[in-house]
């Protein structure tokens, strides 16, 4: 990754001003659409050269786009002087056909962050709360700042075990929710919520509530998918992205899948601009690559299993992840361990206030995880864990990001 790819420099906003802006933007019509990259960057204990060290903090896929996707992008570049926007329709049609959906229920976006943000904006308000699991992905909570909706956080059920969404508690948490957000598998725990519980949520949510099922990581596990709720015409929006298993986080492509009237409603808020044909071509090639999902699911799953088994052998508990990330209980303030690892140029994920002694670890390559084991052993052996980082000079010393309570 080049420094220019880094959110704080590419946007022209420093990390500090970015989050100041975000935090104060509730009165504005538009708030920056926060992605995992922004959240990971803001949670780093210090400014890190993205070209240096190991970054297992943003749930990225180090494998990058597949060979077929790379070739498709190369092949389409010479035609980049043309408006080839019907390609987007073709992409939606291919996905719809593969999944047995009507093409009208599939809307392509540049990643799934945009439709996630717009769904919260469209269906929540100060009288219609957003209900989320805790710990859970924070981006919808930031969007709720714009709609002015109260955020109701419901602890994951069986936090020391399955760490699934507590669907009954989520349904009971508000009498009039605008959106119930279910991330399956969940970010940050990597855990899945049983299909019967998701069915229960869809069947028992109030009539006007949208059940927003975020399947950013669904390709990494074999759990049942939720697109059938859309086919049945339920009040459900499913989000898919090419950023995770397909390795296209920087290329940007995703789908909102829902009833056409729901998609029209979120479409009024933005995101209806045409998409880069390179991203569309890469997404199409990825969808048509028959072995990609199973091959990568196994590759990432194997590294995850080995890493978790090693941690267990060292006496550390993790969530039972089926995804490319998991929470690791470090049995002391996670912030200290995160900072001590960062001092060794090993950048691990952030800490959620509900679980202050846990860190999110993204599954990297085998080599990256071997390096992680080494750094983690050194840090936890007591030589550096808990040490304060040296004071950074000037504005670098400012820590702009505090988690929402």
> Which range, of 11-19, 92-100, 108-116, 205-213, touches ligand PLP by CB under 6 A?
108-116
Say how far apart CA 263 and CA 237 lie, in whole Å. Answer: 8
Residues 257 and 105 sit within 8 Å (Cβ to Cβ): yes
Contacts of 100 (CB under 8 A, 6+ apart): 227, 231
Q: Write phi, then psi, for 164 (nearest 5 degrees).
A: -90, 170
Nearest approach, Cβ of residue 394 and ligand PLP (Å): 31
> Which range, of 41-49, 106-114, 197-205, 278-286, touches ligand PLP by CB under 6 A?
106-114
Helix (H, G, I), strand (E, B) or coil at 106: strand
Residue 40 or residue 340: which is nearer to ligand PLP going by CB?
Answer: 40
Query: Residue 185: is the preceding peptide bond cis (ω within 30°)?
Result: yes
Say how far apart CA 316 and CA 330 lie, in whole Å. Answer: 7
Tokens of 325: 């990330």
Residue 137 is a binding residue for ligand PLP (CB under 6 A): yes
Residues 218 and 99 sit within 8 Å (Cβ to Cβ): no
Residue 147 or residue 241: which is nearer to ligand PLP going by CB?
Answer: 241
User: Angle at the Cα of 145 (from 142 to 148), degrees rounded to 5?
Assistant: 150
Say how far apart CA 248 and CA 270 lie, in whole Å. Answer: 22
Nearest approach, Cβ of residue 187 and ligand PLP (Å): 4
Residue 109 or residue 340: which is nearer to ligand PLP going by CB?
Answer: 109
Residue 187 or residue 318: which is nearer to ligand PLP going by CB?
Answer: 187
Residue 249 or residue 346: which is nearer to ligand PLP going by CB?
Answer: 249
Residue 323 is a binding residue for ligand PLP (CB under 6 A): no
Nearest approach, Cβ of residue 190 and ligand PLP (Å): 11
Residues 167 and 198 sit within 8 Å (Cβ to Cβ): yes
Residue 138 is a binding residue for ligand PLP (CB under 6 A): no
Tokens of 337: 């361990």
> Which range, of 6-14, 42-50, 109-117, 298-306, touches ligand PLP by CB under 6 A?
109-117
Residues forming beta bridges with residue 164, ordered by sequence position: 157
Say how far apart CA 324 and CA 327 lie, in whole Å. Answer: 11
Nearest approach, Cβ of residue 312 and ligand PLP (Å): 25
* Among 41, 73, 91, 249, interactor with ligand PLP by CB under 6 A: 249
* Among 41, 87, 116, 198, interactor with ligand PLP by CB under 6 A: 116
Determine the size of the site formed for ligand PLP (CB under 6 A): 16
* Among 7, 254, 258, 349, interactor with ligand PLP by CB under 6 A: 254
* Among 61, 112, 147, 324, interactor with ligand PLP by CB under 6 A: 112
Sign of the dihedral through C-alpha 20, 338, 302, 365: positive
Nearest approach, Cβ of residue 240 and ligand PLP (Å): 8
Residue 238 is a binding residue for ligand PLP (CB under 6 A): no
Neighbours of 160 (CB within 10 A): 9
* Among 76, 133, 164, 183, interactor with ligand PLP by CB under 6 A: 183
User: Angle at the Cα of 196 (from 239 to 141), degrees rounded to 5?
Assistant: 40
* Among 61, 66, 113, 184, interactor with ligand PLP by CB under 6 A: 113
Residue 59 is a binding residue for ligand PLP (CB under 6 A): yes
Q: Write phi, then psi, for 108 (nearest 5 degrees).
A: -75, 145
Q: Write phi, then psi, for 288 (nearest 5 degrees).
A: -85, -5
Residue 177 is a binding residue for ligand PLP (CB under 6 A): no
Q: Which residues bind ligand PLP (CB under 6 A)?
A: 35-36, 59, 111-113, 116, 137, 183, 187, 214, 216, 241, 243, 249, 254
């Amino acid at each position: 990754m080049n420094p220019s790819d880094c959110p704080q420099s590419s946007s022209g906003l420093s990390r500090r001003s970015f989050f100041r802006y975000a935090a104060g933007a509730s009165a504005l019509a538009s708030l920056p659409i926060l992605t995992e990259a922004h959240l990971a960057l803001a949670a780093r204990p210090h400014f890190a050269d993205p070209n240096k060290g190991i970054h297992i903090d943003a749930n990225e896929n180090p494998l990058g786009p597949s060979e077929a996707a790379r070739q498709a992008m190369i092949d389409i570049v010479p035609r980049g002087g043309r408006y080839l926007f019907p390609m987007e329709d073709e992409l939606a049609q291919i996905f719809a056909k593969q999944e047995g959906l009507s093409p009208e229920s599939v809307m392509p976006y540049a990643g799934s962050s945009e439709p996630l943000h717009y769904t919260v904006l469209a269906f929540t308000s100060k009288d219609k709360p957003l209900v989320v699991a805790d710990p859970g992905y924070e981006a919808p909570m930031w969007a709720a700042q714009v709609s002015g909706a109260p955020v109701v956080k419901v602890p994951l059920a069986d936090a020391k075990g399955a760490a699934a969404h507590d669907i009954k508690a989520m349904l009971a948490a508000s009498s009039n929710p605008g959106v119930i957000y279910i991330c399956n598998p969940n970010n940050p725990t990597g855990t899945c919520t049983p299909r019967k519980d998701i069915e229960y949520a869809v069947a028992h949510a109030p009539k006007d509530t949208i059940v927003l099922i975020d399947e950013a990581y669904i390709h990494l596990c074999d759990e049942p998918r939720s697109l059938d709720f859309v086919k049945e015409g339920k009040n459900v929006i499913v989000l898919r992205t090419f950023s995770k298993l397909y390795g296209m986080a920087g290329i940007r492509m995703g789908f909102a899948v829902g009833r056409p009237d729901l998609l029209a409603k979120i479409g009024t808020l933005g995101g209806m601009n045409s998409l880069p044909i390179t991203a569309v071509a890469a997404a199409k090639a990825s969808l048509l690559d028959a072995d990609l999902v199973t091959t990568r699911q196994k590759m990432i799953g194997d590294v995850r299993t080995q890493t978790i088994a090693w941690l267990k052998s060292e006496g550390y508990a993790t969530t039972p992840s089926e995804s490319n990330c998991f929470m690791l209980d470090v049995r002391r303030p996670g912030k200290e361990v995160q900072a001590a690892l960062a001092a060794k140029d090993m950048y691990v994920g952030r800490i959620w206030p509900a679980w202050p002694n846990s860190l999110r670890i993204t599954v990297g390559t085998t080599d990256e995880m071997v390096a992680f084991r080494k750094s983690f052993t050194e840090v936890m052996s007591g030589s550096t864990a808990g040490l304060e980082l040296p004071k950074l000079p000037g504005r670098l010393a400012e820590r702009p990001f505090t988690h929402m309570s």
